[in-house]
Amino acid sequence: MFSKACEHGLKAMIYIASKSMEGERVKIGEVAEHTGTPEAFTAKVLSTLSRHELLHSIKGPYGGFEMDQQQMHQVRLADIVSAIDGDKLFEGCALGLTTCNEDKPCPMHNSFVQIRTDLKSMMESTSIYDLATGLISGESILIR
């Protein structure tokens, strides 16, 4: 459903938020290790998210990535998906057709419209804070 970059971005943001809640700033290597993602790919994804101002990137020997309380509560899953993959997931055809619409639907159109609507609603209402609290409490995991 999500691109690999988006999957990595979502996991990285949840991890960074959980560490930020504990007052810690994290380096790329730590994010990669705790999310099971390649370090170079993690760096590229985090750079994209930082450019979209979804997290803070601090340079230098004491640098790393962090989120402030406001970001954790305001950044929604939909923001991350849009920053990395664009809005195709929320607007595109399930089969990738460019001409699919209500007037000329693809075979999956009518079923997919409701699923896409529900997914978009969930992603617009779920903050990174919501997911990071589950990680901190042990109710959820990021890596096998």
| Residue 48 near residue 84, CB atoms below 8 Å | yes
Structure tokens at 112: 């997919």
Q: Are 65 and 25 in contact (CB under 8 A)?
A: yes
CATH architecture of 4-85+127-137: Orthogonal Bundle (1.10)
* pLDDT tens, N- to C-terminus, the chain (144 residues): 789 999 999 999 999 999 999 999 999 999 999 999 999 999 999 999 999 999 999 999 899 999 999 999 999 999 999 999 998 888 888 898 988 988 999 999 998 888 999 999 999 999 999 999 999 999 999 987
Nearest to 54 by CA among 44, 66, 63: 66
**CA 39, CA 122: separation in Å to the nearest integer?**
29
The residues spanned by each domain of the chain are 4-85+127-137
Cα–Cα distance between 116 and 7 in angstroms, integer? Answer: 18
Query: How does strand 64-66 pair with strand 56-58?
Result: antiparallel
